[in-house]
Amino acid sequence: MLKAGIISLHTSPLTQPGAGDSGGMNVYIREFVSSLTQAGVSCDVFVRKWNAELEPVVEVEPGFRVIHVPAGACDLAKEDLPGIVDEFTDWVRAWLVENPVDVLHANYWLSGVVGHQLKHPLDLPLVTTFHTLARVKAEMGDAEPQARIDAESQVVACSDAMVANAPEERRQLVELYHAYADRIEVIAPGVDRALFSPGSSAGARDAIGYEGGPLILFVGRIQPLKGLDVAVGALAAVDDPTAKLMVVGGASGQEGAAEVARIEEMVAGLGLEDRVLFVPPKPHYALSTYYRAADVVIMPSRSESFGLVALEAAACGIPVVAAAVGGLRTLVDDGVTGYLMEDRDPESYAAALNRILANPSLQASLGGAAARTASRYPWSGLAERLRDLYTELTAERTLVDCN
């Protein structure tokens, strides 16, 4: 049986997504590893021990273990994590000598650095999924340290394969990091349709206790990158004064708390206190009820490697109005499953929202098409492509060398 070492240094597939450092990547790892084990690949997932209470090894399901790696103080801030990468790597290396794997798969740049340091001494192929890239964030005004850019460049150069979540990410890797296109596999993430499927809007509203008019939903971590300010501005500009914006998620990252405060100030300044509802992060499985209760989901992100929220909303038959960035360009079929916005003007978003909210038959047809599109994204599709990739790389035995 093929065995993979999945590296996820900074965040665990077992944590609650929607706030802090936990979001789409956590869902992605939990789902693809679970599907991989069903596709015949057993996986050890290496996560930094971030809480003193954690068991050293957690068996999530047969063939899927999370290994908590002691490296640095449990409550270390994310910006200090580069300082413990070597300690983390040494520990994982010792573990892998005793418990060998056939392939390494790193997620996010910090784990890429670990994978790169492990692949040479252990002679293992390295697959990397970056999830976000510093140079892409910088293009949108979210500057990251040069050390991250340098590290990403090295990992790009020495990964035996990279997984891009969407064609746009492949282009970014090639144009911004000079990656060889033939080392990049574009493999979309998925959605669990047992959880996310169309259902009764009235029943969902009843379940979450929503009694208002049209409902615009924003789901995700609150940080500048996610563009919640654009969603609030759009609400202020929609025609229907009974429409509300529900925000499910919490502060994330160094700027998260300041962003929440800025948004609250904006809401008060616009006199929208009664029309913007803040809901703390909800367990992943419970989100389907929120999607079903909504008329439309808004996603005004500045950049987005994929955008799982857009796919989950679509799977529930809800149209999405999203920024035309990254994976959202692939996920949202403009005018068919929702609308893609080329600019960040709240008035443009409001115009798209108005079109949907004022026209129930358009809303239904966009939602129906969205649900059909989402059915093309099972997690098993990603897992099967990854299994084939791992098999190919382990058979080749000629690893990319950075020297």
Q: Residues in the site for ligand UDP, rule: CB under 6 A?
A: 17-18, 23-25, 27, 219-221, 248-249, 281-282, 284, 287, 306-309, 312
- The strand pair at 64-69 and 57-61 is best described as antiparallel
Widest Cα–Cα separation across the chain: 64
124 or 315: whose CB is closer to ligand UDP? 315
Distance CA 3, CA 63 (A): 9
Angstrom CA distances, 346 to 216, 275, 294, 318, stand at: 14, 16, 19, 20
Q: How far is the CB of 250 from ligand UDP (least distance, A)?
A: 7
* Buried residues in 18-51 as b, exposed as e (16+ CB within 10 A): bbbbbbbbbbbbbbbbbbbbbbebbbbbbbbbbe
Q: How far is the CB of 220 from ligand UDP (least distance, A)?
A: 5
CB closest to ligand UDP, residue no: 23
Q: How far is the CB of 115 from ligand UDP (least distance, A)?
A: 20
Query: Encoding tokens for residue 377?
Result: 């994204």
Q: How far is the CB of 271 from ligand UDP (least distance, A)?
A: 27
Query: Encoding tokens for residue 247?
Result: 């925000």
Query: What sections of 178-295 are H helices per DSSP?
Result: 201-208, 228-237, 256-269, 287-293
- 384 neighbors 2 (Cβ within 8 angstroms): no
Helix (H) or strand (E) holding 158: helix 146-158
377 or 390: whose CB is closer to ligand UDP? 377
- Reference 39, options 392, 380, 393; nearest CA is 380
Q: How far is the CB of 299 from ligand UDP (least distance, A)?
A: 7
- 3 neighbors 101 (Cβ within 8 angstroms): yes
24 or 317: whose CB is closer to ligand UDP? 24
Q: How far is the CB of 283 from ligand UDP (least distance, A)?
A: 6
9 or 118: whose CB is closer to ligand UDP? 9
Distance CA 13, CA 19 (A): 13
Is 287 exposed, middle or buried (CB count within 10 Å of its CB: 0-12, 13-18, 19+)?
Answer: buried
Q: How far is the CB of 200 from ligand UDP (least distance, A)?
A: 20
Q: How far is the CB of 368 from ligand UDP (least distance, A)?
A: 21
36 or 309: whose CB is closer to ligand UDP? 309
